Amino acid sequence: MKLSGSAVLITGGSGGIGRAIAKALSEAGARVAITGRDQKKLEEAAASLGVFPIQADASVEADVERTFREVLAKFGDLDVLVNNAGFGTFKDLVDMDTAGFERVFATNVTGIIV
């Protein structure tokens, strides 16, 4: 697959696996945009990787819609989407509150379909 010049969006790209994917695709010549919830972490990652940052929460439909508008405005198109955003709460189920469970579910499950 030719990645050079491809427009790529990576959700959850400011850390972990998403950041590693952004690094690899950027080094392969792709035009890369990353999203993240934490503005400071996002800006640091984008500056370090030389990619386009978009502050967004994958569980918020308005953020998702704005993200695509920003990607299209920046790159003109989108060739690759890496739906990577996600997080976990490492507790026994009986120790988790409903709000915490719903935050994880909104990002990891419904966040990929918004």
pLDDT tens per residue, the chain (114 residues)? 689 999 999 999 999 999 999 999 999 999 999 999 999 999 999 999 999 999 999 888 899 999 999 999 999 999 999 998 866 677 787 888 888 777 777 666 666 665
Q: Which whole-number Å values give the CA distances from 69 to 6, 25, 36, 66, 74, in the listed order?
A: 17, 21, 16, 5, 9
Q: What is the CATH number of domain 7-85?
A: 3.40.50.720
Instruction: Note whether 30 and 80 are within 8 A (CB).
Output: yes
Neighbours of 86 (CB within 10 A): 18
Query: What's phi and psi for 20, nearest 5 deg?
Result: -65, -40
Whole-number pLDDT of residue 24: 97
Whole-number pLDDT of residue 111: 63
Whole-number pLDDT of residue 31: 98
Tokens linked to 17:
């696996």
